[in-house]
Amino acid sequence: AQKITQTQPGMFVQEKEAVTLDCTYDTSDPSYGLFWYKQPSSGEMIFLIYQGSYDQQNATEGRYSLNFQKARKSANLVISASQLGDSAMYFCAMREGSTGNQFYFGTGTSLTVIP
């Protein structure tokens, strides 16, 4: 079974609108971390936001927030007030506490912001 599932290969959003990128995960480990990375066309992976499995509040970093629904095993990324520079690939990833140091990545969502 896939550890991380991103079901949206491509998304479009109007500039200044909000957009939600979906991510579901699969783990039996009670301790895990969830991450979102942005990859612009230049290729570099940029860390956006982190959510721990024991965190009570949803993580926020500027215009990024993570909608964490533990019972549903979902960790959706919300980008508010989209900007043209947000056009990029977005990857959801998980690191499990007990199995060590490896990350599991989704297949990514390509976001295009339309002026």
Partner 1 sequence: DVKVTQSSRYLVKRTGEKVFLECVQDMDHENMFWYRQDPGLGLRLIYFSYDVKMKEKGDIPEGYSVSREKKERFSLILESASTNQTSMYLCASSLSGRESYGYTFGSGTRLTVV
> Which residues would be at the binding site for partner 1 (CB under 8 A)?
9, 31-33, 35, 37, 42-45, 47, 50, 52-53, 91, 93, 95-97, 100-103, 105-108
CB of 39 to partner 1, least distance (A): 8
- Angular region, 100: left φ>0, alpha ψ -120 to 50, beta rest: left
In the block, tokens 């295009």 appear at 112
The terminus-to-terminus CA distance of the chain in angstroms comes to 38
Work out how close the CB of 31 gets to partner 1 at its nearest, in angstroms, rounded to a whole number: 6
Residues 6+ apart with CB under 8 A from 56: none
Choice between 39 and 67, CB closer to partner 1 = 39
State in angstroms the smallest separation of the CB of 97 from partner 1.
4
Judged by CB, which is closer to partner 1: 5, or 67? 5
CB distance 93 to 111 below 8 Å: no
- Shortest distance, CB of residue 70 to partner 1, whole angstroms? 15
